Structure 1
Amino acid sequence: MKTLIVIPARIGSTRFPAKPLHVIAGHSLVSRVADIAARVSAMRADTDYVIATDDQAIMDHAAAIGAPALLTDPALPSGTDRALAAARAHGSGPDFILNLQGDAPFTPPGYLSALIDAAETGTADVVTPVVQLDWEALDTIREQKKREPFSGTSCIRRADGMALWFSKQIIPAIRKEDALRKQGPLSPVWRHIGLYGFRMDALERFASLPVGHYEALEGLEQLRFLENGMTIQAVAVEPGTNAMWGVDTPEDATFAEKLIAEHGDPMDAPR
Structure 2
Amino acid sequence: MTVACVIPARYASTRYPGKPLAMLTGATGESVSLIERSWRAAQGVSGLDSVYVATDDDRIADAARAFGAEVLMTSSEARNGTERCAEALEILSSQEGGDVEIIVNLQGDAPLTPPWFLEKLVAGLRGDAQAAIATPILRCDGETLAALKADRAAGRVGGTTAVADSKMRALYFSKEVVPFTSEAYAPDAATPVFHHVGVYAYRPWALRAYPHWSVGPLETLEGLEQLRFLEAGHPVLCVEVEARGAKFWELNNPEDIPRIEAMLQEMGAP
Residue of structure 1 equivalent to 2:36: 31
Residues 72 and 64 of structure 1, relative CA distance in 2, 3 Å threshold: same
2:208 counterpart (204, 211, 221): 204
Aligned identity (percent) is 37
Q: What SS class does the counterpart of residue 95 from structure 1 fall into? A: strand
Query: Partner letter of residue 196 of structure 1?
Result: Y
Deviations 1:62-102 (A, max 9, x none): 22211111111122211111111111102332221111111
Alignment of 1:4-153 (within 5 A): 4-25=4-25, 26-40=31-45, 43-44=46-47, 47-90=49-92, 91=95, 92-123=98-129, 124-148=131-155, 150-153=157-160
Residue of structure 1 equivalent to 2:223: 219
Q: Is the 8 A contact 2:113 2:248 kept in 1?
A: no
What residue ranges of structure 2 are gaps of 5+ in the alignment? 26-30
Query: Partner letter of residue 246 of structure 2?
Result: T
Q: 1-side partners of 2:16 and 2:149: how far apart?
A: 26
Q: Give the number of aligned pairs.
A: 258
Q: What SS class does the counterpart of residue 66 from structure 1 fall into? A: coil
Q: 1-side partners of 2:260 and 2:142: how far apart?
A: 25
Q: 2-side partners of 1:218 and 1:98: how far apart?
A: 22
More deviation, 126-135/20-29? 20-29
Q: 1-side partners of 2:17 and 2:157: how far apart?
A: 21
1:191 paired with 2:195, answer yes
Q: 1-side partners of 2:84 and 2:220: how far apart?
A: 19
Query: Partner letter of residue 74 of structure 1?
Result: S
Q: 1-side partners of 2:153 and 2:64: how far apart?
A: 39
Residues 154 and 60 of structure 1, relative CA distance in 2, 3 Å threshold: closer
Query: Partner letter of residue 13 of structure 1?
Result: S
Query: Partner letter of residue 67 of structure 2?
Result: I
Residues 108 and 58 of structure 1, relative CA distance in 2, 3 Å threshold: same
Residue of structure 1 equivalent to 2:28: none
Query: Partner letter of residue 235 of structure 1?
Result: V
Q: 2-side partners of 1:140 and 1:159: how far apart?
A: 27
Higher percent of residues as helix? 1
TM-score by length of 1: 0.85
Q: Is the 8 A contact 2:158 2:252 kept in 1?
A: no
1:241 counterpart (224, 239, 246): 246
- CA RMSD across the alignment: 2.5
Q: Is the 8 A contact 1:149 1:168 kept in 2?
A: no
Q: What SS class does the counterpart of residue 225 from structure 1 fall into? A: helix
1:229 paired with 2:229, answer no
Query: Partner letter of residue 124 of structure 2?
Result: A
1:162 counterpart (164, 169, 186): 169
Q: Is the 8 A contact 1:225 1:231 kept in 2?
A: yes
Q: 1-side partners of 2:122 and 2:134: how far apart?
A: 8
Q: Is the 8 A contact 1:87 1:93 kept in 2?
A: no
Q: Is the 8 A contact 2:158 2:253 kept in 1?
A: no
Q: What SS class does the counterpart of residue 143 from structure 1 fall into? A: helix
Query: Partner letter of residue 246 of structure 1?
Result: L
What residue ranges of structure 1 are gaps of 5+ in the alignment? none
Query: Partner letter of residue 96 of structure 1?
Result: I
Residues 73 and 259 of structure 1, relative CA distance in 2, 3 Å threshold: same
1:257 paired with 2:244, answer no
Q: What SS class does the counterpart of residue 219 from structure 2 fall into? A: helix
Q: Is the 8 A contact 1:156 1:163 kept in 2?
A: yes
TM-score by length of 2: 0.85
